[in-house]
């Protein structure tokens, strides 16, 4: 399907293949996230679009695709699911499950430290997601409140495997030894030193997140 010519700044109101983009709902270092309607299935999705200035760099394109591969391999109720990965008119995108609700950071900003029962519920579901990722050999690398989504129905879903690495896979880890990746307040000591992380690194970041709660 053809797309309308998008603005370099904002894709809102445009159509990209099967997706009618409604509005921008988030921004990151590599990509912008939009709420979109998948026309063929009449459902809402989150559409992550690689920033145009990065799409011209093969390294960033590979890293973007790596995120999709890592997340798509993890099928679990507590992990945001990948619907499609594509490129139309040189626009690279990932269509993701849209979680209606808020992230843990937003909840903490509004309410402060959480009541014990709610905190334990969030911890249990997030831990189940990390257990599934560890079994698949996937290291998230950026566990923090912003990447723990809370649906209106009370479901917890871990999002954004943008810095993920598949342990032991050649050519998949696109970060460099000695380069610090992640969010400083939550990263493990080995990540802060630019060393190779493993699933225990995610547990450290998860522990800091739990302390924050």
DSSP string of 44-64, one letter each residue: EEEEEEE-TTTTT-HHHHHHH
The reported pLDDT for the residue numbered 168 is 43
State how far Cα 173 lies from the chain centre.
Answer: 16
**pLDDT tens profile 79-88:** 999 899 889 9
* pLDDT level of residue 162 (50, 70, 90 thresholds): low
Spatial CA neighbour of 188 closest among 208, 168, 164 = 208
Catalytic residue among 10, 90, 142, 173: 142
Q: Is 9 a catalytic residue?
A: no
Strands, E, within 78-143: which ranges?
A: 82-88, 91-97, 101-103, 138-139
Q: Provide the mean pLDDT of the chain.
A: 85
The reported pLDDT for the residue numbered 177 is 37
How far apart CA 130 and CA 202 sit, in angstroms, is 8
**Angle at the Cα of 83 (from 134 to 171), degrees rounded to 5?**
50
CB of 158 closer than 8 Å to CB of 80: yes
The reported pLDDT for the residue numbered 207 is 97
* pLDDT level of residue 150 (50, 70, 90 thresholds): very high
How far apart CA 108 and CA 6 sit, in angstroms, is 36
Burial class (CB in 10 A: 0-12, 13-18, 19+), 150: buried
**pLDDT tens profile 173-212:** 434 433 344 578 999 999 888 888 899 999 999 999 999 9
**pLDDT tens profile 32-82:** 999 999 999 999 999 999 888 888 888 888 877 877 777 788 899 999 998
How far apart CA 10 and CA 32 sit, in angstroms, is 9
């Amino acid at each position: 399907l053809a797309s309308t010519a998008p603005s370099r700044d904002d894709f809102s109101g445009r159509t990209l293949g099967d997706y009618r983009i409604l509005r921008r709902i988030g921004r990151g270092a590599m990509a912008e996230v939009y709420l979109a309607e998948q026309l063929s299935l009449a459902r809402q999705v989150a559409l992550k679009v690689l920033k145009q200035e990065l799409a011209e760099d093969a390294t960033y394109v590979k890293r973007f695709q790596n995120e999709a591969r890592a997340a798509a391999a993890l099928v679990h109720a507590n992990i945001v699911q990948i619907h499609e990965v594509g490129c139309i008119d040189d626009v690279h995108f990932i269509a993701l499950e849209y979680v209606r609700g808020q992230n843990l950071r937003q909840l903490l900003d509004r309410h402060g430290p959480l009541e014990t029962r709610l905190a334990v519920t969030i911890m249990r579901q997030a831990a189940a997601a990390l257990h599934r990722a560890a079994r698949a050999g996937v290291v998230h690398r950026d566990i923090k409140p912003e990447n723990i989504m809370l649906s209106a129905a009370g479901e917890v879903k871990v999002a954004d495997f943008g810095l993920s690495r598949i342990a032991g896979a050649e050519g998949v880890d696109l970060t460099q030894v000695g380069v610090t990746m992640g969010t400083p307040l939550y990263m493990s000591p080995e990540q802060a030193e630019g060393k190779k992380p493993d699933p225990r690194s995610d547990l450290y970041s998860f522990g800091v997140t739990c302390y924050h709660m």
